[in-house]
Chain A
């Protein structure tokens, strides 16, 4: 779901009647109707120009620069998509569907490449993909019954009874049906094979086609076979990726090529609501691009000993030195003992943060100079890293603590319904606010990895200001949500939370829009090789 669908996304139009009719008509076919019948609710961005497979129900709004087009596909959709592609290729090349399927799977669903190669040298393509061996395509009955005139002995079980039912694919290596079934079941159920099950004959490269499999195996094995085919369909297809959430069975289709990953972060959201990067499969890491994320994670791993020490290091109240444990996501700390208020990140007094947000987000060039004077270069570079790492890790940890906040918030929502005249739907704003908070923390976290690799130019000042604004807004919202509920002030709180949530979302959008624009324009320079 997009970030800017506000509180009203409960009532978001599932079908916008202002959507232009063409985009529906273009892609409509029988398959889509079956989609509608099933009652599946899928949300899509934009119009359907790039979407190969499905009908489109667009949420009508201007697409943000940091958003990409994609569709979510259920396993039923995936099967429909395959059937559609297979049907198309079968009619273009004038061959049975089961052979078109074998060819497409061999060419990893790259239809253009397949057709081009096929036009060039059909025999070679058919042989390489394991469809037929002979130059001349013979018609071979897939199933036969042995007769006294045509006796048969199965090379697998040595059975030679009369009226034995036999099976063969285009190579005509014939075996009894029982053995064929056993062989296929072994391959599918035990070995998990699907798209390239070869004929049982030793050295024969002919692939047992989908039609033969369907005719020979039992229903459950066939279901498993279809499942495995679906899996390879997604794995082999550059435009598809499984949702990495545990037990989630949806896949996402997105047409961002891997070559664009240096200029765009293709964040997608699954039906299960998990947000992840289509480029690398990791949880959403806007605004940092995939290659930076990879480098950053590697660096954190390599430096984990230092980093662990830092993050595990117990913090003390800067004033009275009593040990302080962070028990919420908010960075505004108040020492229980001496009531001193300070910022968890920089340990500076909180009072300075209230008016002008401390240089908490920015690695101060001056102090870095001092560090260089007194320390060696390598020490300075470690400190520079730790500066960004601490802020990265801090948001990560805060986001984890925000999981507790969800539980607390649920209680608050119940309490609110009991003590005020607000309905269930009217107290949802609190949960939405926590959603927003968590999302902003993730974004903030990755802004520090982004900033770590960013070469400092005049342009980066805008980025740092945006980061600072988002950070401050996020902390304000966090603080507001951590506060205990005061019954008489519920209406006031509601308005306050609503306002702050809108504001935080806006700040996030501004930051992401600007970084995405900068990436597309080549405005950012990173001091690492992005290859």
Chain B
């Protein structure tokens, strides 16, 4: 059974809805079973201002089986693996029904960002952090949003990690100098700092 017609229609609907702050980027080969989505972090959360990249794959049995989604951007959240981006969300598993859509699933991801459920964690360490000290957790989450989901971030050269760059900038070095130094020493933070001093 072909799901092309439905997926096409769904993507069109996402493109037409500017309110949802969701964007879908299809690969250039025109296939419809794998795509990248970008969702904005909800306001009044530590994810506000971030633009999160989500990898979406549409199985051949779609919509009778749910789409597979995982975060490409690193996210600090109890229900999202800080290592792999895997998502713990019921509608992507047993609560899926064929009338749900890619858009409704992506909107659910947004609402998952606003309402973490630390009692059903995907990342136990992050969940423990959340339960132990919510304020401290939010600071880390905010920091991760700035570093990993910054919509204005320039494309960094190979080997330059955003967190290393952020630390160098925090130390007071100029941003472009820091990028160049990190690129030169293939991400070796210590060597980059020494060359900048």
Contacts and interface: CB of A to CB of B under 8 A. Distances in A.
The answer to whether A and B assemble together is yes
Nearest to B1: A182
Given A186-B61, A186-B65, A155 B1 contact: no
A156 interface: yes
Contact of A202 (B3, B61, B97): B97
A196 to B, nearest CB: 12
B61 A156 contact: no
B100 interface: yes
Nearest to B3: A157
B5 A200 contact: no
B97 A158 contact: no
B6 A158 contact: yes
A82 interface: no
A201 B5 contact: no
Interface string B74-114: 00000000000000000000000111100010000000000
A221 to B, nearest CB: 14
Contacts of B3: 157
Contact of B97 (A157, A178, A200): A200
- Pick from A158, A183, A201 the residue with the most CB of B within 10 Å: A158
Contact of A200 (B61, B65, B98): B98
A227 to B, nearest CB: 21
Nearest to A180: B98
A502 to B, nearest CB: 59
| Interface range on chain A (Cβ under 8 Å from partner) | 10 to 19
B63 interface: yes
A201 B3 CA distance: 18
A158 B13 CA distance: 13
Nearest to B64: A186
- Pick from B1, B3, B97 the residue with the most CB of A within 10 Å: B97
Interface in A197-218: 200-202
B18 interface: no
B9 interface: yes
A178 B1 contact: yes
A156 B63 contact: yes
B9 to A, nearest CB: 5
A159 interface: yes
Contact of A201 (B6, B64, B99): B99
B65 A202 contact: no
Given A200-B97, A201-B97, A202-B100, A157 B64 contact: no
A183 B6 CA distance: 15
Interface in A132-154: none
Given A186-B65, A200-B97, A156 B6 contact: yes
A41 B106 CA distance: 59
A290 B1 CA distance: 53
A201 B61 CA distance: 17
Interface string A321-354: 0000000000000000000000000000000000
Interface string A152-171: 00011111000000000000
A179 B63 CA distance: 10
A178 B2 CA distance: 12
A198 to B, nearest CB: 8
A517 to B, nearest CB: 51
A24 B79 CA distance: 62
Nearest to B10: A158
A251 B78 CA distance: 46
Contacts of B65: 186
Contacts of B64: 182-183, 186
A182 B61 CA distance: 9
Contacts of B5: 157-159
A345 B6 CA distance: 75
- Pick from A178, A186, A202 the residue with the most CB of B within 10 Å: A202
A53 B105 CA distance: 48
Contacts of B63: 156
Contacts of B104: 202
A515 B100 CA distance: 62
Nearest to B63: A156
Contacts of A155: 99
Nearest to A179: B98
Interface string A182-200: 1100100000000000001
Contacts of B1: 157, 178, 182
B10 to A, nearest CB: 9
B51 to A, nearest CB: 28
A183 B61 CA distance: 10
Contacts of A186: 61, 64-65
A142 to B, nearest CB: 19
A202 B9 CA distance: 19
A202 B64 CA distance: 12
- Pick from B1, B5, B61, B63 the residue with the most CB of A within 10 Å: B63
A186 B94 CA distance: 12
Contacts of B9: 158
A157 B8 CA distance: 11
Interface string B126-144: 0000000000000000000
B169 to A, nearest CB: 46
Contacts of A156: 6, 63, 98-99
A125 B150 CA distance: 53
Interface of B: 1, 3, 5-6, 9, 61, 63-65, 97-100, 104
Given A178-B1, A201-B97, A202-B99, 12 more contacts: A155-B99, A156-B6, A156-B63, A156-B99, A157-B5, A179-B98, A182-B1, A182-B64, A186-B61, A186-B64, A201-B99, A202-B97
28 contacts: A155-B99, A156-B6, A156-B63, A156-B98, A156-B99, A157-B1, A157-B3, A157-B5, A157-B6, A158-B5, A158-B6, A158-B9, A178-B1, A179-B98, A182-B1, A182-B64, A183-B64, A183-B98, A186-B61, A186-B64, A186-B65, A200-B97, A200-B98, A200-B99, A201-B97, A201-B99, A202-B99, A202-B100
Interface of A: 155-159, 178-179, 182-183, 186, 200-202
9 closest Cβ contacts across the A-B interface? A186-B64, A156-B98, A158-B6, A202-B97, A158-B9, A155-B99, A202-B99, A200-B98, A158-B5
